[in-house]
Structure formats: C-alpha cells, structure tokens
C-alpha cells in the first residue's frame, strides 16, 4: 500500500516594518499555501537567512520607513543567497536596471490575486 507523504512546507520570509502591512503580507503568503516567517527589519531578515536554510522566497517591502533598505536587502540576498526568489512591493516606480536579477516588483496598492499568484509561482 502506498503511503501518503506530505510535502515539506515552503517557507517565505516576509520583511515589513509596519505591523499592519505585515499582517496583510503574511495573509497573502498563507493564502498561497506557504508558511510565513516574519522579520520586522532588514537586520532581522539577514539574521534569519544566516541561520535557516529552508527559506525559498523573500517577500519584502521596498519602502520601509522611507528608505531604500528593502532594495539593499534584495541586493544583499541576490549576492549572498542567489537561489532565493525575490518578491518585492513598492509604491514607487523602480527602473528595471535597479531590480536584482529574477526579482519581481509589484506596485501598491496591493493586488491580492497578483501577489498570491507570484508567491505560488515561486513555490512551484
């Protein structure tokens, strides 16, 4: 008799410094069937990535506290952890040359369907 084996969860690191927005982003990750791991800052995100090897996607806001910290994080991830997928959201337009390779930037306001679809595509 064949045994059912549950597939390992897909972990998505969600990086957002605004607690209200964090709740929305975590909800999108869960709707996509993935397990969120929360980081409230770039520093915390880097610490998580340095200690965990099961993060497949990072979902970050590029507009954290009016800085470019989110983009700096994305560039650091692409340099240090190239296999990790990057999904970014921003209220500002970004030139394609500024976006790390294989990174996807979606605009605000959030489009739940597009975000959930992007997370699912990265998890596949």
Q: What is the CATH number of domain 11-123?
A: 3.40.50.2300
Any residues with CB less than 8 A from the CB of 1 and at least 6 apart, and which? Answer: none
- So what's the pLDDT on residue 40? 94
pLDDT at residue 113 above 60?
Answer: yes
Say how far apart CA 60 and CA 69 lie, in whole Å: 10
Give 53-92 pLDDT, tens digit per residue. Answer: 999 999 998 887 756 688 899 999 999 999 999 999 888 8
Q: What is the pLDDT of residues 99-112, one digit of tens each?
A: 888 888 988 888 89
Pick from 25, 38, 34, 32: nearest CA to 7? 34
Q: Determine the average pLDDT of the residues in 5-9.
A: 66
Q: Which of 99, 102, 100 is nearest to 118 (CA)?
A: 102
What is the rounded CA–CA span in Å between residue 61 and residue 59?
A: 7
Cα 51-57-62 angle, rounded to 5 deg: 100
* pLDDT in the model for residue 4: 45
Task: Please state, as a whole number, how many other Cβ atoms lie within 10 Å of the Cβ of residue 55.
Answer: 20
d(Cα 31, Cα 34) in Å, to the nearest integer?
Answer: 7
């Amino acid at each position: 008799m064949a045994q059912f084996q549950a597939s390992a969860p897909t972990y998505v690191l969600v990086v957002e410094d605004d607690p209200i927005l964090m709740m929305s982003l975590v909800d999108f990750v869960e709707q996509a069937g993935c397990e969120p791991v929360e980081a409230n800052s770039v520093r915390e995100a880097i610490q998580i990535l340095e200690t965990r090897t099961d993060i497949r996607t990072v979902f970050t806001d590029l507009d954290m506290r009016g800085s470019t910290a989110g983009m700096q994080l994305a560039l650091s991830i692409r340099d240090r952890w190239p296999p990790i997928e990057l999904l970014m959201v921003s209220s500002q337009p970004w030139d394609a040359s500024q976006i790390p390779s294989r990174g996807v930037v979606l605009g605000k306001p959030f489009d739940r369907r597009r975000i959930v679809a992007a997370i699912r595509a990265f998890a596949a």
